[in-house]
Each structure stands twice: as structure tokens, then as C-alpha cells.
């Protein structure tokens, strides 16, 4: 399948694995890229720029296909060493960067001078237009359904994607709620040039996370996510568990007085405990509503091959078969 996204990134299929904290290690990024998609290493999961350089080298040992690095600009007090991470990305010969969080204006000149393609992940039309204006090559449009940070506008992809199609000139992929061939074909129909998946790429064999996390996603339904940290305007969609319910109770009782310190126990340092140790109730961890569409733990190749084969049948047979010409021809 050829779209503006496959052309831009030099990949076979328009399927991207979004950066995921403590999930997007070299093993997963390489497996997605080897299967014809675009895998992504999560930059900030690596504690230092030197660790990121090492992770990029590990990924290169596992694939000769293009892969990306995610750089998330967090609302933190003590900023990570972003210039150092950017240097590691450039020195590592990485060709694609997925940015997220704040807009990446500060790092654009360095990335562009190095010939790196930038895809910015954002949750609104206005942020997409801003990304286009500052020179991003593409955007990843994260609808309200998404796992992680859906922003504060709460616009689902059925509205957000066509709105972006109406306004944007640069290509975009649909992100949030994407799981299978139906997602891909629908995303293409709404003007996207491909799809980005987070939660679906956690429940794959090569994801180097605890088996219990994969099983929790398979067991979860679309009703099992919650939005936390809304009062702090840092909304995150997570899988519910006792720690999340405790957090929500604090949000209810403290109301507008809630501060980050009040919920630190449920949100700080949770990812390694869940993803590596399999301590499922350690606290809040991102998960999309799309968990309701995930019923197995295939390899990346099985997943991507299945999506592409079913998408082709859906377009050639189901959709084309609805047109009068095709019906007449078949009669
Ligand atoms: C466990 C987990 C961790 C994530 N961590 C990050 C992150 O560090 N940076 C980022 O830009 N997005 C992060 N995301 C968001 C994903 O890249 C992607 O945009 C999102 O999962 C898409 O929605 P979906 O889960 O419905 O596919 C994370 C998502 C999950 C599920």
C-alpha cells in the first residue's frame, strides 16, 4: 500500500507504533519495522542521552529498516537533557522523530538540518496547524479514545480526523482507537494516510513487557479505562485498577484544591513496576479504549500482515462491492 506516509518514511505499510514509556524499547521498534511498519524507540525511557545512543545502536543491530525515536516534551519542573537526546538521535543516524507534548519548535532547526523527518503527535486541529507551520513533515492525530494523554478537548476521531483533513496540507495518520483493518480503512476514508497504534502494540509477542500486562489488555473491555489528572489539566487515559479508583476518589474529594503531590503515590515511578515487574496495581498506566478490540497476542508480523490482508479484502470486495458498477459487473 502506497500513501504519502509510506513515501515520506520509506516504509512498506502505513502503520506506525507510537512511542510508549517503558514499552518502546529496541526489541519492539525493530520488530515493527521488520514487519514493514515504522517502529519507535521511546527516548525518555532511556535515562541519559548515552543510554539512548546505546538503544538506537541495539535497534540498528536488529533491523536495517527505518525506525523512529519519540521525544516527549513533558510538563516537568526539571527538564530532561533534550539537547543531549537530540544529539544522540542525530549521531545515531535516526531518520524519523515522533515529537509529542509541547510543540517541538525548539528542536526543529537541529532535526531539520540533520535531514530528519518529524511527525508531531497532537490532539487538536489547532495544534496540528501549528505543527505544520513550524515545519513538521506530518502529524499523528490522537483522538479522545487514545491511550495516554488525549488533551483537554475530548474530540473523538470520527470528528477530529475529517476536521484535520479539511485543514491540513501535510499528511497525517490517525492515532487512538486503532487496532485492525477496520481502523486502517476507516482512517484512510477520513483523510488520514495511515494509522498509529499504541495499546495494540503492547499486546504483541515482541513487546518486552511483563506477560501480565499483555493479558490485562486482552482481558479488558472498552469500558475499563478511566481519565485521571483532569483537574491538573494533564489528563491521561489509563486502565482502571484499585490504585486508579483511589486516585479518582482523591480527585473527587479534593476538587479544585488537588495538587500533583496528592496523587504522587498513584502516578510517580509506576511504569517500571508495571511493565517490568508485572505489579499490575502499582498505579496508573496508560491504556486505550481500544483494549476492547484486542483479543490476542500475535507477533508484529502476524498482526501487520493480518491488517494489510484484511484491509485489501475490505477495500476490493466489501467496499467496491457496494457500488452499482461493481454489482452490475458481478451480475
Ligand atoms: C503504555 C503507554 C505509554 C505511552 N507513552 C507515551 C510516551 O511516552 N510518549 C508519547 O508521545 N506517547 C505515549 N503514549 C501514547 C501512544 O504513543 C499513542 O499515541 C496512543 O497509545 C494511541 O492510542 P491507542 O492506545 O488507542 O492506540 C503511550 C501509550 C501507552 C498505551
Which helix (H) or strand (E) element contains residue 70? strand 67-73
User: Measured from the CB, is residue 20 less than 6 Å from ligand 1?
Assistant: yes
103 ligand 1 Cβ < 6 A: no
Residue 122 β-bridge partners: 141
Q: What is the pLDDT of residue 19?
A: 98
Domains of the chain, earliest start first: 4-208 (3.20.20.70), 212-276 (no CATH)
Segment 126-134 mean pLDDT: 98
Look at the block and give the residue holding cell 476521531.
157
pLDDT tens per residue, range 70-79: 999 987 767 8
Q: Is the pLDDT of residue 329 over 90?
A: no
Percent of the chain predicted with pLDDT > 70: 98
Assess contact for 204 and 217: CB atoms under 8 A: no
What was the pLDDT predicted at 79?
86
**Residue to probe by mutation, ligand 1, list 16, 17, 18, 178, most atoms within 8 Å of CB:** 18
All cell numbers assigned to 135: 515545519
**Looking at the whole model, is its pTM more than 0.95?**
yes
pLDDT tens, 146-177? 999 999 999 999 999 999 999 999 999 999 99
Task: Write down the mean pLDDT value for the chain.
Answer: 96
Q: How far is the CA of 7 from the centre of ligand 1 (A)?
A: 24
Among 23, 182, 198, the mutation site with the greatest number of ligand 1 atoms within 8 A of its Cβ is 198
- The arithmetic mean of pLDDT across residues 171-195, rounded, is 98
Query: How far away, in angstroms, is 326 Cα from ligand 1 center?
Result: 40
* H, E, C per residue of 91-114: HCCCCEEEEEECCCHHHHHHHHHC
Amino acid at each position: 500500500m502506497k500513501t504519502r506516509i509510506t513515501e515520506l518514511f520509506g516504509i512498506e505499510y502505513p502503520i506506525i507504533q507510537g512511542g510508549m514509556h517503558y514499552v518502546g524499547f529496541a526489541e519492539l521498534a525493530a520488530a515493527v519495522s521488520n514487519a514493514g511498519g515504522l517502529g519507535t524507540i521511546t527516548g525518555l525511557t532511556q535515562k541519559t542521552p548515552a543510554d539512548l545512543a546505546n538503544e538506537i545502536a541495539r535497534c540498528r543491530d536488529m533491523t536495517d529498516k527505518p525506525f523512529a525515536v519519540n521525544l516527549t516534551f513533558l510538563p516537568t519542573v526539571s527538564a530532561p537533557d533534550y539537547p543531549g537526546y537530540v544529539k544522540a538521535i542525530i549521531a545515531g543516524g535516526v531518520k524519523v522523530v515522533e515529537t509529542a507534548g509541547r510543540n517541538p519548535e525548539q528542536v526543529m532547526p537541529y532535526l531539520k538540518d540533520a535531514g530528519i523527518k518529524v511527525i508531531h503527535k497532537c490532539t487538536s486541529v489547532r495544534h496540528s496547524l501549528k505543527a505544520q507551520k513550524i515545519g513538521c513533515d506530518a502529524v499523528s492525530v490522537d483522538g479522545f479514545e487514545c491511550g495516554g494523554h488525549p488533551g483537554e478537548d475530548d474530540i473523538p476521531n470520527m470528528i477530529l480526523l475529517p476536521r484535520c483533513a479539511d485543514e491540513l496540507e501535510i499528511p497525517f495518520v490517525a492515532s487512538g482507537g486503532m487496532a485492525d483493518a477496520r481502523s486502517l480503512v476507516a482512517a484512510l476514508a477520513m483523510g488520514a494516510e495511515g494509522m498509529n497504534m499504541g495499546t495494540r502494540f503492547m499486546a504483541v509477542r515482541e513487546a518486552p513487557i511483563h506477560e501480565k500486562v499483555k493479558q490485562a489488555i486482552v482481558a479488558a473491555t472498552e469500558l475499563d479505562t478511566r481519565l485521571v489528572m483532569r483537574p491538573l489539566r494533564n489528563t491521561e487515559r489509563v486502565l482502571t485498577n484499585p490504585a486508579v479508583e483511589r486516585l479518582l476518589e482523591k480527585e473527587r474529594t479534593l476538587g479544585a484544591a488537588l495538587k500533583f503531590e496528592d496523587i504522587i503515590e498513584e502516578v510517580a515511578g509506576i511504569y517500571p513496576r508495571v511493565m517490568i515487574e508485572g505489579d499490575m496495581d502499582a498505579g496508573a498506566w496508560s491504556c486505550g479504549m481500544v483494549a476492547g478490540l484486542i483479543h490476542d497476542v500475535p507477533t508484529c508480523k502476524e498482526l501487520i500482515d493480518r491488517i494489510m490482508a484484511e484491509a485489501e479484502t475490505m477495500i476490493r470486495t466489501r467496499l467496491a462491492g457496494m457500488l452499482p458498477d461493481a454489482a452490475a459487473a458481478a451480475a
